[in-house]
Structure 1
Amino acid sequence: MVFNAEKVVWFPPGNSNVQVSHITSSTAVISWDPPTSDAAQVLSYSISYAPSGSDRPMKNIIVFPPNTSLILTDLNESTPYIVTVTVKTFFTGEQLGSTLYFKTKSYIDECLQNNGGCSQRCVNTVGSYQCRCHPGYTLRPGSRTTCTDVNECAYPVMKQCDPNAHCLNSDGSYRCECKPYYRGNGTHCEGCFCPPEIIPGTASQPALSGNPCPCVSGFIMSNNFPSLYQNSADMYWFFNMAQLSNSTRQYKGRKLQMLLCDWLHLEWICLYRCE
């Protein structure tokens, strides 16, 4: 909020040089200089004030040194006030001080007109106003009125996505989605879950599928593809794909060879050999 300016009317000051500043619709700061003589002997200052021309009794506030200022509060809007400051010293008692007049300012709420020019929220403050943004937005650099989206995904401390999730920014917010082959709500993902895969080939010339699933550590291949693998000899399980040469596509690591599988007692019984 701002206030309509009112000219301060001064009466001839006394020795205390009383001044008024920071006038709003309900407050004002009164300040004064200590007396030039016997300043060390000042016992107190008495500040009296009331609306000018009013028959109401003046309010009185006592201020003790070394303080030489006071904030008047709960003043009426657009109202002239009279203020008198007197000083009480050890030797001379209470001395006549200075008197001045001032007028409080009129209240204006800038937020009522065009939202104060703010793109989102306008917040009234004493003597001014501020533009603020909704959650997920921040003021654009160099601007006091325009809000722009915050990319939470660019700041790890602002997002709550699981390490195995993608952070997807949106206007004023963001969401987390588990990566392929992981399951969960994005803030918590479990995995890795790769679909079962049977790949044809031979022990010397495996045929790779190029499955991108990050959990794959090996693959099944058989000379008898596409016959039933459970009944096939020469079926291999390759364990460590790091042992696969990218240039020759030959697997050099250890592998498990299935020698025999039979259906016994309602389950498959298989014989394997490690190579």
Structure 2
Amino acid sequence: MNNYPYHISFKNFLKLERGLSANSIEAYLNDVEKLAQYYEVQQKPFVVKEIEDKDLYSFVIWLSELGMLPNSQARVISGLKSFFGFLMLEGLIDIDPSAQLETPRLSRKLPDVLNVAEINDLIAGIDASKPEGMRSKAIIEVLYGCGLRVTELITLRISNLHASQGYIIVTGKGNKERIVPIGESALKFIDIYLSQIRAHQDIKKGNEDFIFLNRLGTQLSRISVFTMIKALANQIGLKKSISPHTFRHSFATHLIEGGADLRAVQEMLGHSSITTTEVYTHLDRDYLKGVITEFHPRI
């Protein structure tokens, strides 16, 4: 419906000043539309200048009573905060009623993690006699050995591979570059793939620097990596539901279990906040007990 006051202005703001995608813009507009619907149900006029914080609190309660999950509530609240922030920026309201509005406490789902044996089984299950098999081995070695996101993997360039120094330059979220160490195993399979498979491909113009290519000689897609990993898991009978991100989770968890410094892991993962990295400290009690025993001065 999207017929609330300042709908068009807010839409233009999101598009031109925030540079959001069409899907993101529609999500923000729908968040505000839900508030407009709430006012309609309450048989009250939706006048943004008259909205107070207590009205927004009542709105969130209404969402909860409708059965909306906390994650979805948080999404709507985020959209409302952007909307009222826009109104403040444009001088359309004097007080932001959403300033003190808090998102519901979200349960933090621990990521799925593979153990070392499961990762070895996955790699061993790849048929390396096929060209795509050697590429798959290199992909999994890099995902697990460097903790990359799938987008970082498919955009990895030959020019950013510094094998002799043992590191790669990765372009992460927000086009931020970071240096990530790369181990001998990953380097070995990359070298085999580059020299024995990729070197014999007809590479399309503009794709010459990408490490991983599809059979058409163009940049590998995200969905191709997802599909390959799902098929491999089914092939070896792995019961866990895994994705490319599972290897990133496993990379971080195994490092921390091995005693790696949390801030070092944060740097390698490219997390802007240490709190994001802390999710990987879901370690077994024996390990945590061992840390306390070793480092606490009173134990």
TM-score bucket of the superposed structures, by smaller chain? under 0.3
- What is the TM-score of this pair, normalised by structure 2? 0.19
Structure with the largest fraction of strand? 1
Structure with the largest fraction of helix? 2
- What is the TM-score of this pair, normalised by structure 1? 0.20
